[in-house]
Amino acid sequence: MRGIFYFILFFLGLASIFMTINDVTNNRYLKEIKNIKSLKDKAKYMSEDLLLITGKTYRNENTSETIRFDIKGILQSNDSIINLKIGFPEYLDSNLEYQPVYKSKLTGTYYLKDAPLKYYNGKLRGLYFAVLLKISFYPILITIIIFFRKYYKQRTFRI
């Protein structure tokens, strides 16, 4: 059981390190915190737009897993093409030609507008997990430095 725990901890540490380094180099380190702020106060931090859906994609068609559902569409405001990770097809209103979306004023990330609460809770859980991985980067880095220093001292002063 301890081996499984260390295995999971190792891969979470790797994910934390790669995610933090990638976000720091691409200048989007605090993006998740800003998106959480936007989702909590939609009236203040979100603007509304309409998305004309041009394509739907089930990323894993061979299994019964429908959590990987994406849509592609054209925004009405500036005719740009975006891809939205939706999750479940039930979150879309299939009767509408244009799907209402929110755009975060802080980060520019798009979310469905009239989706059920389950959709927003899932997005918030993902954002909180990303923040947790970024926070755990610092204790992991300190631990790696301590282990490296101990190893280096043992190797240097060995007779």
Instruction: Write the pLDDT tens digit of every residue in 81-124.
Output: 988 888 777 888 777 778 889 999 998 899 988 888 998 998 99
Instruction: Write the pLDDT tens digit of every residue in 49-60.
Output: 888 888 877 766
Domain map (residue ranges) of the chain: 13-150
Residue 63 has pLDDT above 90, yes or no: no
Burial of 84 (0-12, 13-18, 19+ CB in 10 A): buried
pTM of the shown model = 0.79
Pick the closest to residue 82 from 92, 72, 91 (CA basis): 72
